[in-house]
């Protein structure tokens, strides 16, 4: 799901789980759009700063998993 969100946001055919958000050309406006979709998809309050801390899909997935575990 995360790769699909990023793929659409960056308008790319494929995004790898180790691709860096910043290296792909991500900026604050795109981050806001991605995080709105993440919050809707996962039903979590996800801090926007998480994208700075978790720069790849792999890292982001781990952080979201941690947030989901805390919510339970």
Whole-number Å distance between alpha carbons of 34 and 38 = 6
Residue 65 pLDDT: 93
Class of domain 2-71: mainly alpha
Where do the domains of the chain lie?
Answer: 2-71
Residue 23 pLDDT: 94
Whole-number Å distance between alpha carbons of 35 and 12 = 18
Residue 7 pLDDT: 96
Residue 49 pLDDT: 83
Each residue's pLDDT, cut to its tens digit, for the chain (72 residues) gives 999 999 999 999 999 999 999 999 999 889 888 988 988 998 888 887 887 789 999 999 999 999 889 887
């Amino acid at each position: 799901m995360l790769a699909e969100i990023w793929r659409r946001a960056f308008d790319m055919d494929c995004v790898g789980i180790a691709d860096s958000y910043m290296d792909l050309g991500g900026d604050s406006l795109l981050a806001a759009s991605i995080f709105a979709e993440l919050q809707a998809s996962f039903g979590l309050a996800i801090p926007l700063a998480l994208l700075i801390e978790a720069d790849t899909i792999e890292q982001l997935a781990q952080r979201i998993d941690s947030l989901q575990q805390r919510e339970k």
